[in-house]
Amino acid sequence: MSDTQFGASFRPGTGTEFRLWAPDHNRVELLLLPPGGNSWRMAMHPQQAGFFALTVADAAPGWRYQYIVDGEGPFPDPASRRQADDVHDPSEIVDSAFAWSDQEWCGPVWSSAVIYELHVGTFTPEGTFLGVMSRLDHLCDLGVTAIELMPIADFPGRRNWGYDGTFLFAPDSSYGRPEDLKCLIDACHRRGLGVILDVVYNHFGPDGNYLWPISRRFFNTKKRTPWGAGINIADPIVSAFFNENARFWIDEYHFDGLRFDAVQALESSQRSSFLAGVRKAARSAAPDRALFLVLENPANQAELLRDSGDGAFDAQWNDDFHHALHRLITGESHGIFQDYPAPEASLERILRQGFDHQGGYSHWRKQNIGTPTDGINLDRFVNYIQSHDMVGNRPLGKRLHQLVDREMFEAAVALYLFLPGIPMVFMGEEFCAAAPFLFFTDHKPELGDKIRKGRLDQHQSNPGWREKTAWDRIPHPQEASTFQSSIIDWEDAGRNADVVDLYKQLIALRAQTIARLDRRQESFSVARDGRLFTLVLRDHRGQDLIACVANFGTEAQAVPDRLRADQWRVIFTTHPCAGEQVASCSTQWLKRLD
């Protein structure tokens, strides 16, 4: 990236340029640590707008370095490209050169996308980028078109979900070296897989945040988030930091998209302009490639999905879909599920319009949320029945197949893989992995205990976990065994081959019948009779082409008259039923006869 403002940039023949934004300081020194040699301490030159810079001809990849600001420190570089030993240790100069083989890669088509969310540390026993590579054949056979990595920005300790990252430009060293990540992405592209990265721009982790002593102006102490002081996104240089980070992952690592975590936590008065800047910066890094820019935004601001001439985000994680369907099939009504007291009606609205909450009151959040979705194509919504949050925020990290019977689970799978929105599979879901996905950390003991208490307090909305006597059953986030028990056992893929086959068959059918159809709301018909949902997709001429009937009731139901056997044929069912009926807890796909 020729326009790098932040961090250390190595350029063969020139050396390494170091740049640091320290607007509250008068003197900044660079402490260079050559391998096996004596350290060098050099004054950096003040630049405009609070930057300090210095180019050192001898500084080469592999050298470590730190900064000293007004005599305090030394501190690692907040824009470090690698923290070899962890967040508190020196930063490392990295050579960005890599022999890419993906020059012809243009990226998958969004309307055909099937996303697979995974956590690098628990996806394989190796827990590394190269470990993920060892399972790419499985993902390709499944029919996945893009993988989504949970955050990989360097975090404290050896294990973390990734949302405690403090070095946003540095892949965590526990997952491998930067070139290992590039190898993974290059291998994905050779197989036709896109790669999306989950990025966190709403806060920094509580341990290892060296922006605080170096650039306190980076934060808005009047704006609190659930994780600490808010980010001062009103400052143009702070915004430039995140814009550069978005470009960096797409340019330097060839990622095919970004998922922006919890954007509702950004300062509301600056949120839209900040996100527009990040979106433009990301797209500018790959103007000739398809990029997937996806939001997590429980505030349901539909305007971020509209193109008003300034561009738009490609999609948003559809929490409403998960929550309504989950309450419908599990009966759980505590916490986030209390906002869906009539889940059948909520799900019907979601299937038609994308969101349930479009301005109404949320009892869980104690405020009105959402804006209307009229006119927004349905492929702007990412639908899922499990995710890292929805599994990992449960006390015991239980997966959906452990909460409902197999028939209900398969009926839910067949429904969400049919929808015109973009489906997202959570790692191990496709073979009913036995391993839970728990919340795990590796913080210092005092911070770890605070996090443990905060997590326990979150479970008090769950009637089954209000009694403190039950809390000892909840695995401690700091224990290594909590992390170890979350690692997927790939033997489950063989033990539950029938479930893998179910996913393969449905994803293949989706590619054949749904991926190319119109995704406008008016091209998708939804009807409901109690817990029986009938969905019909039309082509651009208004001709019915493919249908889905999902029965979440306890009794078999007749196939709706609209789908008469002389005009439609069943191409898939999770549970056969005699006659023209849909079995209880089952889903059928039908195709119109030519």
Q: Region 106-118: what's the mean pLDDT?
A: 93
Has residue 458 got a pLDDT over 90? Answer: no
Please give the pLDDT value at position 2. 54
Please give the pLDDT value at position 507. 98
Instruction: Tell me the three state secondary structure of residue 20.
Output: strand
Please give the pLDDT value at position 173. 97
Has residue 325 got a pLDDT over 80? Answer: yes
Please give the pLDDT value at position 372. 97
Label the pairing between strands 586-592 and 544-551.
antiparallel
Residues 6+ apart with CB under 8 A from 394: none
Query: Which residues are part of the catalytic machinery?
Result: 261, 296
Instruction: Tell me the three state secondary structure of residue 450.
Output: helix
Contact call for residues 338 and 364 (beta carbons, < 8 A) = yes
pLDDT, tens only, 127-149: 999 999 999 999 999 999 999 99
Amino acid at 256: D
Please give the pLDDT value at position 517. 86
pLDDT, tens only, 261-273: 999 999 999 999 9
Q: Which domains does the chain have, with CATH numbers?
A: 7-92 (2.60.40.10), 113-199+384-445+478-515 (3.20.20.80), 520-592 (2.60.40.1180)
pTM value? 0.97
CB atoms inside a 10 Å sphere around CB 347: 27
Instruction: Tell me the three state secondary structure of residue 486.
Output: coil
Instruction: Tell me the three state secondary structure of residue 335.
Output: helix
Q: Which two tokens stand for residue 309?
A: 């001439």
Amino acid at 363: H
Which H or E run includes 321?
Answer: helix 319-330
Q: What is the largest CA-CA distance in the chain?
A: 84
Has residue 228 got a pLDDT over 80? Answer: no
Label the pairing between strands 40-43 and 28-33.
antiparallel
Q: Which two tokens stand for residue 570?
A: 């069943």
Average pLDDT, the chain: 95
Has residue 1 got a pLDDT over 70? Answer: no
pLDDT, tens only, 182-222: 999 999 999 999 999 999 999 999 899 999 999 999 998 88
Contact call for residues 216 and 163 (beta carbons, < 8 A) = no
pLDDT category, 543, cuts 50, 70, 90?
Answer: confident
Query: Percent of the chain at pLDDT above 90?
Result: 87
Q: Region 562-568: what's the mean pLDDT?
A: 91
pLDDT, tens only, 22-56: 999 999 999 999 998 899 999 999 999 999 999 99
Has residue 169 got a pLDDT over 80? Answer: yes
Amino acid at 505: Q
Instruction: Tell me the three state secondary structure of residue 141.
Output: helix
Residues 6+ apart with CB under 8 A from 32: 39, 40, 41, 42, 56, 59, 63, 64, 65
Has residue 227 got a pLDDT over 90? Answer: no
Please give the pLDDT value at position 221. 83
Compute the Cα dihedral for 293, 175, 107, 322 and give only its sign: negative
pLDDT, tens only, 387-421: 999 999 999 999 999 999 999 999 999 999 999 99
User: How many Å apart are CA 178 and CA 189, to the nearest integer?
Assistant: 17
Strand partners, 194: 146
User: How many Å apart are CA 400 and CA 408, to the nearest integer?
Assistant: 10
Query: Percent of the chain at pLDDT above 70?
Result: 100
Please give the pLDDT value at position 578. 82
Residues 6+ apart with CB under 8 A from 393: 439, 458
